[in-house]
Structure 1
């Protein structure tokens, strides 16, 4: 059995200078169950800043589906940290 790369099952765009603003989260995904919400701004993945999409991509290199990653998001002006179980890429 081959290991499947993991991903955060959401669409987002760069909110320049702030992070990655979540536009949608896939219904029923591990990401949705973990609590990521539309409007959240992802500012860190596993402790690494994610002001740019390429930084989020780099933070997920080698991470497998089913494994957790820690996220720090800005939500309603406050930072919130939680774990997300990665979905299959």
Structure 2
């Protein structure tokens, strides 16, 4: 079984893989939810390295602020599972 810390670290790494709200995609659900979707934002890494897969913490914060201004918000894993 994976530890909570490792799971969260993996989630953060995944969330960081894509930068920019234009790269959101819709994750379809198969729980009988009809046509409802959950947008998923994925980044690979947040930091100050200079590779193509890393965004700065300032850029990450700016992206999240921009999404919030557009009405997006995060949900917990439990909320996702219940969806």
TM-score w.r.t. length of structure 2: 0.25
Structure 1 length-normalised TM: 0.24
Question: Which structure has the greater CA radius of gyration?
Answer: 2
Higher RCO by CA contacts (8 Å cutoff, separation 6 or greater): 1
More strand by share: 1
Which structure features the higher share of helix residues? 2
